[in-house]
Structure 1
């Protein structure tokens, strides 16, 4: 799925949030919960977040996963947003796509194990905040008179 539009404000926030999956630091339960809450507030579909993670952020940030002295405290947000917008504006050639796919096969578990936990928490937040429907078995008072 390709998107050539610049990032929306919600997408920018999502990119910054999702980029923490690529940091050289432990993803604690507290970090997972905070990430899920932040993403939940943005109201972006999980499928869109999946796509952003895989096709927009991974190709930019995966080198940090293999760097012995990788970034551990956060990526430069302005640079990150500029790089994602540039990636959207300039589609990759076949060689770049192939290289990113090979990297994905080799490194996806480094990101996906934490992302799966975030997704699970997002699902729980969605269930907890979904509108409650009234019980369909409630008596209609007008029919009992």
Structure 2
């Protein structure tokens, strides 16, 4: 992204994880794309799951609740701006609420996370 510097390329992880929140059924190519980005990041898979839970999920989960949510992809600049805003303004109560809400999402998206982890592990060993 032009103009913004992220020493750990966190914004690339955010963008890859945003695929999980589109109103579409993910395909093999989607998991390949996400895994390629995630394997190149400086984060372990467990860290990536925490980034999803505490940074991406709070900003994007509402898209999964809208009958005709975003399906074509999120605007990268807006995504980064919204996540950074969330991170700067969140309170301990917000974080606790996210922990509670994420439990529901986690059970719904378990198959996607399993597939993503399998694809990630395959790429990580290559």
Q: Distance in 1 between matches of 2:21 and 2:83?
A: 15
After superposition, the Cα gap between the structure-2 partners of 1:8 and 1:15, relative to the gap in structure 1 and judged at 3 Å, is farther
2:55 match: secondary structure: helix
Question: For each residue in 1:119-141, what CA deviation from the matched residue of structure 2 results, as whole angstroms up to 9, or x when unmatched?
Answer: 1111121222xxxxxxxxxxxxx
2:119 aligned to 109, 118, 121, which one?
Answer: 121
1:18, distance to aligned residue in structure 2 (A): 0.5
Give the aligned partner of residue 90 of structure 2.
Answer: 91
> TM-score, normalization: structure 1?
0.73
Question: For each residue in 1:8-32, what CA deviation from the matched residue of structure 2 results, as whole angstroms up to 9, or x when unmatched?
Answer: 4511011001100000011111211
Question: For each residue in 1:33-90, what CA deviation from the matched residue of structure 2 results, as whole angstroms up to 9, or x when unmatched?
Answer: 1211122223422122111111111111110111101000111211111121122222
1:93, distance to aligned residue in structure 2 (A): 4.3
Which consecutive aligned stretches of 4+ in structure 1 deviate over 4 angstroms post-superposition? none
Give the aligned partner of residue 48 of structure 1.
Answer: 47
Contact 2:18–2:74 (8 Å) recurs in 1 = yes
Return the index of the structure with the highest Cα Rg.
1
Contact 2:16–2:33 (8 Å) recurs in 1 = no
> TM-score, normalization: structure 2?
0.83
Contact 1:32–1:117 (8 Å) recurs in 2 = yes
Structure 2: state its 5+ residue gaps.
none
1:122 match: secondary structure: helix
Contact 1:20–1:74 (8 Å) recurs in 2 = yes
RMSD: 2.0
Q: State yes or no: 1:108 paired with 2:101.
A: no
Q: Distance in 2 between matches of 1:110 and 1:8?
A: 33
